[in-house]
Amino acid sequence: MTKDEIKALVRTVPDFPAKGILFRDVTTLIRHGEGFAACIAHLARMAEAAGADLIAGMEARGFIFGAAVAAYMRKGFVPVRKPGKLPVRTVGIDYALEYGRDRLEIDPGAIGKGDRVVIVDDLIATGGTALAATELLRGAGAKVDHALFVIDLPDLHGAERLRGAGVTVEALMDFPGH
């Protein structure tokens, strides 16, 4: 399937979670077997070109896409978790959200010094979570210079923020607005 055919599988839900927001819902893509497989194949080719040793994905939808890309490539997957979800000692990072703060954690044993880790997630909006994950993975010894997304919302400038941190950003599709 082409990227345009995959894009057509993403549902837009107006006024969710608040009035004026156009929510880009990937569940319609995920439940379409051929479309989901094509999406993963496109992302895997991009990750392969980036020289990925490992794939990392942020909770929750990054687990869906990232783990599928890792399996497709026969590479390991590093889950970037919300706090308190891993049963071992973790390293973490606190980061700012639009209204508050959040935290991400990883098992530091999941990363080898110098491992080239490619981040995969469903969507880049403001980039806060992806920037935090990049910093966290780099702090654990990984080389993180590529991040892949199914969807970019360019009007929210997250991809620009990641590029400012030395990360090449690619997305299968973009949607104007937010």
Give the model's confidence band at 58: pLDDT under 50 very low, under 70 low, under 90 confident, else very high.
Answer: very high
15: which DSSP letter? Answer: T
Q: Of 29, 77, 30, which is closest to residue 53 (Cα–Cα)?
A: 77
pLDDT in the model for residue 84: 94
For the chain, the domains span 3-174
Question: What backbone torsions phi and psi does residue 108 show, to the nearest 5 degrees?
Answer: -65, -20
Q: Of 70, 81, 47, 53, which is closest to residue 149 (Cα–Cα)?
A: 47
Query: Measured between alpha carbons, how far is residue 49 from residues 46, 52, 69, 80, 100 in Å?
Result: 5, 8, 13, 22, 36
At 114-142, the pLDDT tens digits run 999 999 999 999 999 999 999 999 999 99
At 3-35, the pLDDT tens digits run 999 999 999 999 999 999 999 999 999 999 999
CATH architecture under which domain 3-174 falls:
3-Layer(aba) Sandwich (3.40)
